[in-house]
A and B are shown apart, each in its own frame.
Chain A
Amino acid sequence: MIAQALVSGLLIGFVFALIAAGLTLIFGVMEIVNFAHGEFLMLSMYLSYFLHAGLGWDPIAALPVNAVALFALGVVVYYALIRRVLRAPMLAQVFATFGLGVFLQNAAQFLWRPDFRTLGDTWVSGRLSLAGVYFSGPQLAAAAGAVLTTAGLWWLLSRTEIGRALLATAEDRQAASLMGINPDRMFALAWGLGAACVGVAGALLSTFYYVFPQVGGVFALIAFVAVALGGFGSVVGAFAGGVLIGVVESLAGVFVAPAVKNLFVFAIYLVVVLLRPRGLVGKQ
Chain B
Amino acid sequence: MSRRVALALAVLAVSLVSPRAPAAPPAEVVIGAVYPLSGNLAKVGNDIKDAIELAAELVNDDVDVPVPLGKGKGLPNLGGARLRVVFADHQSSPEKGLSEAERLISQEKVIALMGSYNSNVTATASQAAERLKTPFLNADSTSPLLTARGFRWFFRTTPTDDEFSENFFKFLGEMKKRGKAIKNAALFYENTLFGTDVSKFEKKYAQQYGYPVVADIAYDAKSTNLNAEIQRLKAASPDVLLQASYTNDAILSTKTMKELDFRPQAILAMDAGHVSSEYVPSLGKDAEGVVSREVWALGLGAKKPIVRQVNDLFRKKTQAGRGQPIDMDGTSARAFVGLLVLADAINRAGSTEAEKIRGALESTDLPGESLIMPWRGVKFDPKTHQNTLGSGILVQIQDGKYVVVYPFDLAAAEVRWPLPAWGK
Contacts and interface: CB of A to CB of B under 8 A. Distances in A.
B125 to A, nearest CB: 21
Contacts of B39: 109, 114, 214
Contacts of B217: 257-259
Given A8-B228, A250-B227, A259-B191, A218 B282 contact: no
A136 B226 CA distance: 13
Nearest to A262: B220
Interface stretch (B67-75, B106-114, B246-254, B264-272): B246-254
A109 B42 contact: yes
Contacts of A114: 38-43
A9 B227 contact: yes
B3 interface: no
Interface of B: 38-43, 191, 217-220, 222-229, 231-232, 235, 247-248, 251-252, 255-256, 258-261, 278, 282, 284, 424
Interface of A: 1, 4-5, 8-9, 12, 16, 106, 109, 113-118, 120, 126-127, 129, 134, 136, 139, 208-210, 212, 214, 217-219, 222, 249-254, 257-259, 261-262
A114 B276 CA distance: 13
Contacts of B218: 257-259
Contacts of B252: 209-210
B219 A116 contact: no
Contact of A254 (B38, B191, B223, B232): B232
A9 B224 CA distance: 11
A258 B229 contact: yes
Contacts of B424: 126
Nearest to B37: A114
A261 B248 contact: no
Nearest to B225: A12
29 contacts: A4-B231, A5-B228, A5-B231, A8-B228, A16-B224, A113-B42, A114-B40, A114-B42, A115-B43, A116-B251, A116-B278, A127-B259, A134-B260, A134-B261, A210-B251, A210-B252, A210-B282, A218-B222, A250-B227, A253-B228, A253-B232, A254-B228, A258-B229, A259-B219, A259-B220, A261-B220, A261-B223, A262-B220, A262-B223
A214 B40 contact: yes
Given A222-B224, A258-B228, A210 B258 contact: no
A212 B248 contact: yes
A8 B42 contact: no
A198 to B, nearest CB: 14
The residue among A116, A208, A254, A261 with the most chain B CB atoms within 10 A of its own CB is A116
A127 B43 contact: no
A107 to B, nearest CB: 12
Given A114-B38, A208-B255, A258-B219, A253 B227 contact: yes
Interface of chain A, main secondary structure: helix
Contacts of A127: 258-259, 261
Nearest to A136: B259
A254 B259 contact: no
Contacts of A212: 248
The residue among A106, A114, A219 with the most chain B CB atoms within 10 A of its own CB is A114
Given A115-B43, A136-B259, A8 B278 contact: no
B400 to A, nearest CB: 14
Contacts of B227: 4-5, 8-9, 12, 250, 253
A129 B262 CA distance: 13
B43 A8 contact: no
A258 B247 CA distance: 19
A8 B225 contact: yes
B329 to A, nearest CB: 14
A113 B251 CA distance: 18
A3 to B, nearest CB: 11
B224 A219 contact: yes
Given A116-B247, A127-B259, A208-B255, A254 B231 contact: yes
A223 B420 CA distance: 38
Given A4-B260, A136-B259, A214-B40, A115 B278 contact: yes
A254 B226 CA distance: 10
B235 A1 contact: yes
Given A4-B231, A8-B231, A9-B228, 16 more contacts: A5-B227, A5-B231, A8-B260, A16-B224, A109-B39, A116-B248, A120-B284, A126-B424, A136-B256, A222-B224, A251-B228, A254-B228, A258-B219, A258-B223, A258-B228, A259-B219
